[in-house]
């Protein structure tokens, strides 16, 4: 690896971690807004999304420039390919944080829904998966990356449980269907964040092991 390429790859790693930190903060604030029914915090998540979007574009452009100018191979090429995908997943997580914030704003303008849904555990698991995926990226920790893939099943199961509860409530309170659907979608957005965190973990596995782990069944 040439010295110039090494410098560019290090800058790229710092950039993707900076984006990760911004996205992690967006998710934290979106969950805070959800728990506290705080429309102002939700608004801040929505406002800051433009910064995340611009950063995602800049990182993709940097990846393409490195590919064109240095034609990296082997481990370096895998790293850049993984960063391009992780970059996209982080931007999508930012979008899901915005989606949660928008649902919170709608819910806070309407009367309370006739069902007690507490997304706290699901949100904590989702946040943990995102944090662990970024830590695995920093440390190139393949064991942590595999753990994240297993955690995704837990989030999926919680989402299914909430779906069944809310579906039954809509049947009993059809006049409140709009508010209940917004509540249902918060669970869906959390589940999607967990999916994207899993994608990041899979890219870490690819970087380290050189094999694409998507569509594999993970077991303890």
- Tens of pLDDT, residues 38-97: 999 999 999 999 999 999 999 999 999 999 998 888 889 999 999 999 999 999 999 999
- Residue 212 to residue 190: CA distance in whole angstroms: 25
- Residue 8 to residue 3: CA distance in whole angstroms: 9
How would you label 57-67 residue by residue, b for 16+ Cβ within 10 Å and e otherwise?
Answer: eebeebbeebe
How far, rounded to the nearest angstrom, does the alpha carbon of residue 153 sit from its chain's CA centroid? 15
Structure confidence at residue 211 as a pLDDT band (50, 70, 90): confident
pLDDT at 220: 47
Half-sphere exposure (CA, 13 Å, Cβ side) for 35?
A: 12
- The pTM (predicted TM-score) of the whole model is 0.93
Among 86, 196, 70, 185, which Cα is nearest to 137's? 86
Q: Is pLDDT above 50 for 212?
A: yes
Query: What single-letter DSSP state applies at residue 63?
Result: H
Which residues, at least 6 apart from 59, have a Cβ–Cβ distance to it below 8 Å? Answer: 12, 15, 16, 19, 83, 87
Q: Is pLDDT above 80 for 203?
A: yes
Confirm if 56 and 16 have CB atoms less than 8 A apart.
no
pLDDT more than 70, % of the chain: 96
- Residue 64 to residue 180: CA distance in whole angstroms: 44
Q: Write the DSSP string, 157-189.
A: HHHHHHHHHHHHHHHH-GGGHHHHHHHHHHHHH
Half-sphere exposure (CA, 13 Å, Cβ side) for 60?
A: 13
Average pLDDT value over all residues in the chain? 92
Structure confidence at residue 1 as a pLDDT band (50, 70, 90): low
The residue among 141 and 220 whose pLDDT is bigger is 141
The CATH class given to the 3-209 domain equals mainly alpha
Reported as a single tens digit per residue, the pLDDT across 14-32 is 999 999 999 999 999 999 9
pLDDT at 217: 58
Q: Is pLDDT above 90 for 175?
A: no
């Amino acid at each position: 690896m040439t010295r110039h390429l090494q410098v560019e790859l290090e800058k790229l790693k710092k950039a993707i971690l900076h984006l990760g930190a911004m996205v992690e903060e967006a998710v934290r604030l979106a969950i805070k807004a959800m728990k506290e029914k705080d429309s102002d915090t939700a608004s801040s998540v929505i406002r800051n999304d433009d910064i995340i979007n611009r950063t995602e574009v800049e990182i993709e452009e940097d990846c393409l420039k490195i590919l064109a100018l240095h034609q990296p191979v082997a481990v370096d090429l895998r790293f850049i390919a993984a960063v391009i995908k992780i970059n996209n997943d982080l931007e999508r997580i930012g979008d899901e944080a915005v989606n949660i914030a928008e649902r919170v704003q709608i819910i806070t303008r309407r009367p309370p829904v006739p069902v007690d849904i507490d997304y706290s555990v699901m949100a904590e698991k989702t946040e943990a998966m995102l944090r662990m995926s970024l830590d695995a990226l920093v440390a190139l920790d393949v064991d942590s990356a595999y753990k994240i893939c297993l955690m995704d099943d837990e989030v999926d199961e919680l989402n299914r449980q909430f779906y069944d509860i809310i579906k039954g409530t809509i049947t009993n309170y059809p006049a409140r269907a709009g508010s209940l659907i917004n509540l249902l979608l918060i669970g869906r957005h959390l589940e999607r964040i967990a999916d994207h965190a899993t994608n990041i973990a899979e890219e870490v596995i690819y970087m380290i092991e050189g094999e694409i782990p998507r569509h594999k069944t993970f077991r303890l």
